[in-house]
Structure 1
């Protein structure tokens, strides 16, 4: 990430309209691209994403409407004006008593999960091209734990603290050691649905 002018670490989405807007895959891609690559014009974004310039311009304006990106140079000419991300991360409610917010937030979470799955699948298909040390370093594992809500929260906070040690490298390339590469690190923990009890046979 090279967002030299970012003033916030996270933008929180609570408006159902904003949540639904961000769930679009092209908009998530554009927001992530701006966070990694710094200010970009719609033309450059189109080159990097494979989308048309008109499509990128449209989706950037939608992202700007909900505070996710903004013009880096408001006086720039048309599609050549650069855009930048307003924060390094996007957050949204994990729970809400407002049905509209809850529905939109769940839909966004599902869209993000599908996006991560798509990207991960592509990476796994191409991993044979990586040097052996990278193939050995990659993580693909799971474990089932029995936790209380408090314990799950504590576990997440401890993992966040470990990950935070490397977070500054995203916004400051000079902190990246030689050989460092971009590594999406996913944290996923969900409550497994309880299995249904076996059906009882009726006595004759």
Structure 2
């Protein structure tokens, strides 16, 4: 499996911006080759739906058949790369619009997954509750400084990347922990604090 697949075709960007396809892509990266039937069991989608979405992902190089000779829906599929990348800026309006739509879809997917985790957080042992993170910090940075900070954070997290593809590298007690790296330029004028007393961004920490 290669490290990264780059999406630049607006059609591929729009195709990937679908919750089921993002879920299937992530599932194949974590669990390895899966049939449409097994993917349906793990996602709650129908076998026909998974089969259709897997073919769309294959069309744009995000997944491939692990065994082309396999029978119908029982043929296994695998991810082609560990990560998906797309432009954060483009002179092409079609690419820019499709990339922005995909970024929004991914952000919504992050929020949905995090909300589900928070809803079941009560089931976690104390040792995990005490180390989970839910905080933010506002910094004043130049573009070069933000790039440097992002590269340093990425390098730190990458030290544990090999555990994703190789379960034998996971120490006893390790669990799947999504790490979100999000940095955005805040609008010049922040909206006022509402009557519900919610703090401005940068004031939350737990």
TM-score normalised by length of structure 1 = 0.92
2 CA distance for matches of 1:74 and 1:190? 42
Q: Secondary structure at the match of 1:193?
A: coil
Q: Does 2:194 correspond to 1:183?
A: no
Residue 67 of structure 1 is aligned with which of 45, 61, 70? 61
Q: Does 1:82 align with 2:76?
A: yes
From 174, 183, 194, the counterpart of 2:188: 194
Runs of at least 5 residues in structure 2 that lack an aligned partner in the other structure: 191-206
Q: 2:16 aligns to what?
A: 22
Larger radius of gyration: 1
Partner residue, 1:153? 147
- Could you tell me which residue of structure 1 aligns to residue 165 of structure 2? 171
- Name the Cα RMSD after superposition: 0.7
Alignment of 1:105-116 (within 5 A): 105-116=99-110
Q: How many residues align?
A: 190
* TM-score, structure 2 normalization: 0.91
Q: Which runs of 4+ in 1 moved over 4 A?
A: none
Deviation at 1:195, TM superposition (A): 1.0
